[in-house]
Structure 1
Amino acid sequence: MLDAAEIRTVLVVTAHPDDIDFGGAGAVAAFTDRGTEVIYLLATSGDAGGFDRETDGAGMAAIRQAEQLAAAKSVGVSDVRHLGYPDGAVEATLALRKDIARVIRQVRPDLVITSTPERNYARLGPSHPDHRAVGSAALDAVYPDARNPYAFPDLLTEEGLEAWTVREVWMIGSPTPNHWIDITATVDRKIAALRAHESQTGHMADLEGMVKGFLSANAKAAGLPEGTYAEAFHVISTG
C-alpha cells in the first residue's frame, strides 16, 4: 500500500454529485490538508436526482453541479469535471472507459478513488447501477486502458496524452473493506460538504447524526478508539 507521502495526485471518479461526499470526503480533506492535489471526475451531473419535481433534468443538473462545487470547496478541491452521461442510465461502455482514461492521462494520478463495481447486499445504497457501472469502467480505465499506449491510440496521436500507470485504487461502498481512514479531524468538513448538497440532504432531519453513526461503526470495525470516525475503502494495488 502506498505511503501518504507517495500520493501527490488523487483522481476521484464517481457517478453523481454527492457520491464522494458520502463515501470519502473526509479522506479527501485529509489529502488536501497535506498538499495533495485532488481532482473530481463525475460521470453524470445528477439530473435524475433531487426531490423538486417542478425542476426539469437540465435545471436539476445545474443545481447539482453548483452544489458539488460548493461541497468540493469545503474539503479543499477546486477542479471538478463532469462527463455529461445521463443520470440513471450509465453503462460501463468503451466510450466511458476512454473518457476516464483520458482524464487519468491528463492529470496523472498516483491514486484513483472510485465506487465498487460489486453489489453490496448488506447496504443497497452503494449498489446503485450507475455506481457499479462507473466503478467497473474506472477499474478498466486504470488497467489496462490508461497504462497501455495501444489502447485508444488517438489519445496519444491526436491529443498527445502519454500512457500513465495508476499505482493504487481505493473503492468506496465495498462489501469487503480492507482499509480505514481516521477522519475525526475532518468529519465536520465532510458534513459541511454533505450539507452543500441541499437538493439531496435538505430533507434529512438528522444528517449529522446519521453520518456520524455509520462513521462510528466504521471506526469500531477498524479497531479505532471510541469517539473517533472513519471512512472505509477496499484498496487494490495495481502493481
Structure 2
Amino acid sequence: MTLVLSDSEIARVLVITAHPDDVDFGAAGTIAQFTRAGIDVVYCICTDGQAGGFEDSVPRSEIGPIRRAEQRSAAARVGVHDVRFLGLVDGELEPDLVLVREITRVIREVRPDRLLTQSPERDWTFLARSHPDHLAAGEAVVRAVYPAARNPYAFPELADAGLKPWTVREVWLSGHPTTNHVVDITETFDQKMDALYAHESQHPAPGELEPRLREAFGRVATSAGLPPGHLAEGYFVVSTG
C-alpha cells in the first residue's frame, strides 16, 4: 500500500469525472466520508451525459439538463454542494489542449489538496469501466495536474485572469487496473446508494442495483483483507511531490 495523506491534512478535494453518475458509481461512499470529516468537496463533470439513459420518449435535447439536475441531487446526498459542468459532449471527450486548459482553470479556481478522477489506463478485466470518455478525462486531469496547473508559464491567459498556479498534493485514480489504497465504505454505503438512485434516468431496473454493487464492493473489501461483510472502494493513489 502507498503512503496516503491523512484526511486531517486535506482541506479541499476536487473530483473530476467524464459523466454525471461516474463519481457515484466509483467513489460516492468515499466522498461521503470526506464530507463527514469536514472536508470541502467540489465536483467538476466534463460532459452532460447526453448519450445516457434508456427512455426513448424523452427527447435527447432534454437529457443533458435532466442529468445535470440528477447529479446536483446526488451530490447533495453525500454532502457536496458545489457542482460544476464543462458542458462537453458525451462520447466525444478528448484529452486535448482545450480540455487540459479547462481542467487547469478549475484546479486553479478550487485549489484542492487532493484530486479524485478516473484512471487514464484501460482495465481489460472490466471493459465498461474504461469508457473512452473516462480514459480521456483521466488523461486530461493528469496532464493538468502535472505540469500545467503548477506551472506559472502554462496557459498564460489563466494567470492574466488572476488564476495563480496551484500544486495538487495527490491524485486518486478510480477504476485503475491495480489498487494500492482502499476506503472502507461500509458505514456510508447507504449514502452511496441514495446518491445513485438520484440518477433516475439511468436505471431501468433500480431494484437490481444494490445487490450487484454490494457484491462488487464486497469483493474489493475482501481483496484488501477487510472483515467479512465489509464494503470498500479502491483507488490507485499517486503522490505528486
In which range does the TM-score fall when normalised by the shorter chain? over 0.9
- In the alignment, structure 1 residue 91 sits paired with structure 2 residue 94: yes
1:168: how far off?
A: 0.2
Instruction: Specify the alignment match of 1:163 in structure 2.
Output: 165
- Please point out which of 70, 73, 82 is paired with 2:76: 73
The DSSP-based 3-state class of the residue aligned with 1:206 is helix
Correspondence for 1:208: 210
Task: State the alpha-carbon separation in 2 of the partners of residues 234 and 171 from structure 1.
Answer: 5
Q: Bigger CA drift: 201-210 or 8-17?
A: 201-210
Per-residue CA deviations over 1:53-77 (Å, capped at 9, x if unaligned) read 2323330001111110110011000
* Structure-2 residue corresponding to 1:40: 43
Residue 17 of structure 1 aligns to a residue whose secondary structure is: coil
Per-residue CA shift, 1:63-109, capped at 9, x if unaligned? 11111011001100010011011100100010000100101000100
Question: Structure 1, residues 101-159: CA drift from partner, whole Å, max 9, x if none?
Answer: 101000100000000011111111211000000000001000001000100011011x1
Relative to the length of structure 1, the TM-score reads: 0.98
Q: Is the 8 A contact 1:98 1:141 kept in 2?
A: yes
Alignment of 1:38-187 (within 5 A): 38-157=41-160, 159-187=161-189
- Cα distance, 1:202 vs. partner? 3.8
- 2:71 is matched by which residue type in structure 1? Q
Give the partner amino acid of 2:164.
E
SS where residue 162 of structure 1 aligns?
coil
**What is the Cα deviation at residue 200 of structure 1?**
1.0
Say whether the 8 Å CA contact 2:75–2:195 is kept in structure 1. yes
**How many angstroms does 1:221 deviate by?**
0.8
5+ residue gaps, structure 1 = none
Moved over 4 A (4+): none
1:220 is matched with 222
Give the unaligned 5+ runs of structure 2: none
Deviation at residue 207 of structure 1 after TM alignment: 0.9
Q: In structure 2, give the amino acid aligned to 1:18.
A: D
Aligned partners of 1:57, 1:135: CA distance in 2, in Å? 26
Query: CA contact under 8 A between 1:195 and 1:202: conserved in structure 2?
Result: no
Query: Aligned-pair RMSD on alpha carbons?
Result: 0.8
Equivalence for 1:17:
20
